Amino acid sequence: MAALLERLGYRAVEPGEAEDARKRRTEFVRFSVAAFLTMNVMMLSLALYTGFFAELGEADIRQLSWPMLVMATVVLVYGGQPVRQRGWVGILGGAPGMESLIAIGADAAWLFSLVNLLRGSLHLYFDTASMLITLVLLGQLLERRAKSRIQEDVTAFFALRPGKVRVCSARFPDGRFVAAAQLAAGGEFRVEAGEVVPADGRVLEGAGTVSEAALTGEAAPLAKGVGDGLVSGARVESGAFRVRAERVGEASTLGQMICVMERALNRRSALEGRTEDLLRWFVPGILALALATALACLVRGADLEAAFTRGLTVLVISCPCALGMAIPLARVAGLGLCRRRGILVRTFHSFDTATRLKAVIFDKTGTLTTGRWSLQALRPAPGWGEAVLLGLAAGLEGDDAHPIAREIRAAAAARGVDPVPCAERASCGNGWKGRWQGQSARIGSRKLLAGWLAEAPGWTGGEGGSEGPDGLVSRIYLGVAGRPAGVLEFGDRFKPGAAEAVKALRDAGLAVALVSGDGPEPTGETARSLGIAHWHAEQPPEAKAALVEALRPPGGAVAMVGDGVNDAAALAAADLGIALHAGNPLGREAADLTLMRGDPRQLLDFLALARRVQRTIGQNFVFSLAYNAVGIPLAMSGLLNPLVAVTAMLLSSLSVTGNTLRLVRHGGRRPG
């Protein structure tokens, strides 16, 4: 439809986009009218200024001055209406900003000129008042365009939120578009090539490819077919699917990510809070300086016009907007760049913390290894069978989300073994305990069961057993009534990029440690394979959190990288908690940021982006302070006039915006 309308000479836009286009058009018309009238005011002012060198009659002055008054009034009332309204509302509300300084300056210049006009004086400043408004409108147009480019990534991501969905029903088996809010969990919907998946679900019919680049930053298309899962926010590249919805709305992956992004955008960093406190005093301080400058000129014998001009120059050269934009613009740019790389940032202070990191602690299972544990061997103790051992293990693990627990349940189902019901099930660190046939039963690491589990004569418990892929073997022990029942052996593999990430962190001078709830053998083997000197095995969740505190370097920050849920205590204890997404609910993660691809190398991307964002913030902040520190004294000394001052103010704001735009352009490149 949009293409057809384009060929007919019309442009089709979404409702929200149409509103934005209408607003942009109104702003452009307002600026165009103000600029046209201001140019005419400037030309008449030039003619009027010749009165200082050639004698003008009263009629000549009136013929030049009254049209200037009319045009300058239109510029202020129509062109400057939004600026002046915000300015005076800010003053009356006790929160003056840049618009307040412009409103006071423009209105004061217009009122002073009106009084002089009625007195028949040549000292008119209608050109100054008009130019103030016009330059501010020009600056806002340029800033809006640059800000739109900076906010492009975030805006595009929010645009993925579905407005409608093709719901399938008995009456409409091929689907009928309805509002997205009408789709419920368990309902069926249809998506075709070019459409965005509106909810998490499982494919019932169809085949094709989808791109999850908007969620993970990975552009390679993924093949999907019957039985495969689809995540909301993925775009269908080819084919069509009939899908049963499992999680919809804010419970879906896209909904959770949007909620996290919105919270991150609405939060203020500590530096922003200090900047806002500074700005609260900045504008009243500038007003006081402008008034003091004018009074000082009068005391030193200057005429009223000279004193007014100097005070007005001080008023308009200051640029609180540059200070106010320095951090928020960089924050939006940083969050957008991270989102483009598949990194979901919850708290903006993560960027600052990342630049202060001295140590990084990795969890093992699911972080540096795939977490796709495969049951390689069952080693029953004397008197126990494999089926009973596996059924009891599945019953004790229950619905635990840990990868080993999932593999136990999958292995039991594959062998046709039903989980054995266990009473009084309860977590005990990195394991579970309960009662089976009236006897106490426990499952977990050797350390967890040490002191409770007695040795069985003639049974090795799997020591010296076969090694798994890449040498990563984890042994889980099961005991009943204080006696061993058997050992379950699992194998795992390193994640692609795990060795590269660890080496890059070590080369950057960061201390790297490994912590795991698994036994010493698989943990030590993992550490040796990756070149990690410091490792800690058989650590329950509370011990991991304590370890984070113990390994925090003096004067530096420590990061914990884990799976987001099982390592919640350690992630919360770290200065920077980093979760590798593995399909778990994002709302339950205690991390400061989530690597949506689950790739450890994304941590390197984030550290590089954090340095760029913090460098941009520092540059913006230093320039803003330096500009005001130099510009205001120059204005007070009388070396500048109001038109030069307002031009400098415009350039100051644009420089901060342009520097942040440079971050967006260069930050989009993948760090080397």
Domain count, the chain: 4
Q: 234 and 351 share a domain?
A: no
Kindly report the pTM of this predicted structure.
0.69
From 219, 250, 281, give the residue that closes a domain.
250
C-alpha to C-alpha distance for 559 and 351, rounded to whole angstroms: 12
Bridge partners (DSSP) of residue 629 are none
**Rounded CA separation 316/641 (Å):** 10
Which of 99, 118, 150 is where one domain is finished?
150
Instruction: Say what the pLDDT of residue 471 is.
Output: 47
The verdict on 212 and 358 lying in the same domain is no
**Domain shared by 8 and 146, yes or no:** yes
pLDDT of residue 672: 43
What CATH number corresponds to the domain at position 219? 2.70.150.10
Q: Which residues contact 598 (CB under 8 A, 6 or more apart)?
A: 495, 580, 581, 582
Same domain, 52 and 138: yes
- Domain-terminating residue out of 150, 182, 212: 150
Q: Are residues 193 and 92 in the same domain?
A: no
What confidence score (pLDDT) does residue 272 get? 62
Residues 506, 531: Cα–Cα separation, whole Å: 9
Q: Do 120 and 2 have their domain in common?
A: yes
- Residue 555 sits in a domain whose CATH number is 3.40.50.1000
User: CATH number for the domain including 445?
Assistant: 3.40.1110.10
Say if residue 441 is in the same domain as residue 525: no
Same domain for 526 and 556: yes
Looking at the fold, whether 214 and 197 belong to one and the same domain comes out as yes
Is the domain of 365 the same as that of 398? no
The stretches in the chain having pLDDT less than 70 are 6-21, 49-58, 98, 143, 146-147, 150, 153, 268-276, 279, 319-326, 455-473, 564-566, 583-589, 667-672
Strands 222-224 and 200-211: antiparallel
Domain membership of residue 383 as a residue range = 374-492
- Partners of residue 444 on adjacent β-strands: 477
Residue 656 forms part of a structural domain: no
**Which pLDDT score, from 0 to 100, does residue 219 have?**
75
Cβ neighbourhood burial of 562 (10 Å; 0-12, 13-18, 19+): buried
3-state secondary structure of 463: coil
| Domain membership flag for residue 195 | yes
191 in the same domain as 131: no
Distance of CA 610 to the CA centre of its chain: 11
Strands 229-230 and 557-562: unpaired
Rg of the chain (C-alpha set): 34
Tell me the C-alpha to C-alpha distance, in Å, between residue 645 and each of 37, 212, 448: 21, 49, 72
Output the pLDDT for position 49. 67
**Alpha helix stretches (DSSP H) within 93-226:** 98-119, 126-150, 152-158, 213-216
